[in-house]
Amino acid sequence: MRIGMILDKVFPPDPRVENEAIELIKEGHEVFLFCLTYSNEKSEELINEINVRRYSNTTLIYKFSALAYTVPVYSYRMKNKINHFIKTNNVEAIHIHDMIIAEACFLANKKYQLPTVLDLHENRPEILKFYPYMQKLYGKLLVSVKRWKKKEEEFVKKSDKIVVVTDEAKNELSSRVPSKTSDIIVVPNTIRKSFYNNKKDVSIPYEKRENEFNVLYLGDTGERRGLRTVIKALHLLKSQDKIQNIIFLVIGKINDSKLVYLVDKYNLQNHVKFVGWQNQETFPCWISNADVCVSPLHKNLHHDTTYANKLFQYMSLGKALLLSDVLAQKELLERVGAGLVHKEQDAEDFANKLLELYNDDELRNEMGKKGEKFVREEFTWDKTSNQLKEIYKTII
């Protein structure tokens, strides 16, 4: 089958899209990927056997994507590009990655009536609430979260199959569109074996000192990610003279300026290192050097229904975790026994749990081994992608 994947971003990178495409190609399908470009990239390129087709876009039109369900400028501009993509590549099924570009896909597909899979990477209406422009008056006036939610439900009803990332996401979506429950498939954001099997010997711009205790965070640093909780917890430990040799390493672009402010305020420059974003091939090295890996997310409906990919990266390399009690990751951690859970946005509880892990090497090692076993034996991409492959057997 000639599957047309539709992505409203540049490619590469996008691990989930690439993983899904590669798995379907292994099954004998041809995958054509519609994506966008804002530069002079090749319009056609073969990447890991994925037939990439790039369509030029402008920053102005990109900005209209935030208003996709207020004024349909973005959807109608994308519709023409998608129509061209479907026609020129003889696409036989459409696989939509996330809902921003979904309306454009359904508009283009009116002419072709192709089977459609809607792949919801996250709970977009809920996460929308936390975008910077939604904190401003113009964002609140122009963008309706309710409308996005109704649109999501409309697209779910129109799709032949719907893909979500957790059981929690399926339950939440089923509660809103019960008629489609049997068509909702869970395909988690797990990792490929190559992440931990093909670890490259690369240099990283930080040398761990002897007897240093590294706490690692990998990823986006927006306020909802909870890094302020970690810094406040380190301040508590320092004031109690318990922090000693703990270093908190943040691998990611700093999107929350208050993080730097808090580090200066609490005089934690020797205990918090903002390394900046690093090449993905270095991730295994950063994780291998860590003693504890964290994901201190704030509670909201989006975080309650999704997994951060970093959790499986952490576990695959045998690291104990310290995670906030948002529903999905709490349930996962308690089921696997790979770390401790702290109350979200509770610096004192985070500090206490971190001290527990800091003071007990045996506990950390035991938890790390449980996480490693779980990921390597049960939760790698080659196993969790089986449901995805079944979708296209059904469609055929």
Give the tens place of pLDDT for each residue, 110-121. Answer: 999 999 999 999
Is a pLDDT exceeding 90 seen at residue 147?
yes
When the pLDDT of each residue in the chain is averaged and rounded to a whole number, the result is 93
Are 175 and 290 members of one domain? no
45-54, 67-76, 130-139, 260-269: segment of lowest average pLDDT: 130-139
Are 173 and 227 members of one domain? no
CATH number at residue 181: 3.40.50.2000
Mean pLDDT of 67-87: 93
Are 332 and 388 members of one domain? no
SS (H, E, C) 116-167: EEEECCCCHHHHHCCCHHHHCHHHHHHCCHHHHHHHHHHHHHHCCEEEECCH
Are 161 and 289 members of one domain? no
pLDDT value of position 396: 65
Considering its fold, how many domains does the chain have in total? 2
Are 249 and 341 members of one domain? yes
Are 217 and 337 members of one domain? yes
- 72 pLDDT band, cuts 50/70/90, is confident
Are 389 and 363 members of one domain? no
Are 12 and 161 members of one domain? yes
Q: Which residue has the higher pLDDT, 118 or 211?
A: 118
- 202 pLDDT band, cuts 50/70/90, is confident
Are 155 and 209 members of one domain? no
Are 164 and 221 members of one domain? no
Range of the domain at 136: 2-190+381-395
Is a pLDDT exceeding 90 seen at residue 285?
yes
Cβ-proximal residues to 48 (8 Å cutoff; 6+ apart), any chain = 18, 21, 22
Are 390 and 314 members of one domain? no
Are 391 and 323 members of one domain? no
Q: Where are the alpha helices (DSSP H) in the chain?
A: 15-26, 59-64, 73-88, 102-109, 124-128, 137-142, 145-158, 167-176, 194-197, 227-239, 257-265, 283-289, 301-304, 310-316, 327-336, 347-358, 361-378, 381-384, 386-395
- 131 pLDDT band, cuts 50/70/90, is confident
